[in-house]
Chains A and B, each alone.
Chain A
């Protein structure tokens, strides 16, 4: 009886998933955005990949993956809330960074319907870093930190709802710095106290789809 019940639930779930998928597919076709005068209130969902060019001697660049959503406050101001996972393999250690944070974007040119829409952005994020020695994974160091970032970018509006965004930012960590050295053949990690302006250059490519207008009227 229990087996039958589970099978029935599984079948029901399968059909529900199929219906949801096809239903969403049927509903999504590019319906025009119903803006309430301005584009403020637009909510977008996006996926992003980030190239992190670390500026330390023996640290390799990292290719990251993440997600984000945007809530636009007005024609000129947008906000971006993101998460990034950035692993990198160095010569004798592996480094993993996680970024979770937000940025405010300002559009200096009020050209909402143009193909290219440049912006400047600045923001803050929390950052977790872990470094592990490749040959001895019990030798590791980690830290939580806070960071600020700023840069420039542009949207490339592909359709009314879909945009590709490319940005370049410099991120400065405000907390402790972790770095690795070899000393007499041994890998040593150092956690240095105090505000260090350790930073890295981030290039981010993202695809964003405008889901709905929070402030739209029926």
Chain B
């Protein structure tokens, strides 16, 4: 019942908004995007590789600028050596887009908060983090896009005087909804 009503509401919004926007021609304003993916990561201060799962949503308030929120959860290390035990992070920020027909190269500057617990420790910490994301979208249709991106994430190690930087990459298929009349 709930899913049907939600589907009906989304359908009605899509019809009533009657999007005249043509992502094919480079128009982006009003696009609402969401996706989920896996994020392999390389720790830059340790010889450890990690896996994260997460996603982001973005809203274009201008053809060239958007707001984005991102959340990631640590799954496990890819390597035998592990440094992180638990890690959840949320980030929000603004991006600059360079739309060219269906292509949409972008950069985002994001900031957020990490809840993190390291191996060998029983203490969990809240630590601020910042991220710089670069990547590109390819708009397959009005409602779907392919994307690939790379993120440099910086934060301070809560257990010692050190940085806890990571390079994360991801790619996949995203869903988008034109909300502009």
Contact = CB atoms under 8 A, between A and B. Distances in A.
A25 interface: yes
Given A26-B179, A29-B30, A49-B128, A207 B109 contact: yes
Interface string A109-141: 000000000000000000000000010000000
B128 A85 contact: yes
A11 B1 CA distance: 9
A63 interface: yes
B158 A162 contact: no
Interface in B1-49: 1-2, 5-6, 9-10, 13, 17, 29-30, 32
A25 B13 CA distance: 12
A87 B29 contact: no
For the side of the interface on B, what is the size category?
35 or more
A18 interface: yes
A100 interface: no
Contacts of B61: 28-30, 159, 161-162
Contact of B161 (A11, A28, A29, A89): A89
Interface in A24-67: 25-26, 28-30, 47-49, 60, 62-65
A164 B94 CA distance: 9
B156 A207 contact: no
A91 B161 contact: yes
B159 A47 contact: no
Contact of B59 (A18, A25, A47, A207): A25
A134 B157 CA distance: 13
B112 interface: yes
B154 A63 contact: yes
A148 interface: no
A89 B156 contact: yes
A165 B122 CA distance: 38
Interface in A83-114: 85-91, 94
A15 B32 CA distance: 17
A88 B156 contact: yes
A211 interface: no
Contacts, number: 99
A28 B161 CA distance: 42
B71 to A, nearest CB: 15
Interface string A160-174: 011010000000000
B6 A18 contact: yes
B9 A49 contact: no
A18 B125 CA distance: 32
A18 B9 contact: yes
Contacts of B129: 63, 65
Interface string B144-162: 0000000000111111110
A47 B30 CA distance: 22
A50 to B, nearest CB: 9
Contact of A65 (B32, B64, B128): B128
Nearest to B157: A89
Given A62-B156, A87-B156, A87-B158, A15 B128 contact: no
Given A28-B59, A205-B109, 12 more contacts: A14-B6, A22-B10, A22-B179, A26-B180, A29-B61, A47-B111, A49-B111, A65-B128, A87-B127, A158-B94, A164-B94, A207-B94
13 contacts: A15-B2, A15-B6, A15-B9, A18-B9, A22-B13, A25-B32, A30-B62, A63-B156, A65-B111, A65-B128, A89-B157, A89-B161, A164-B94
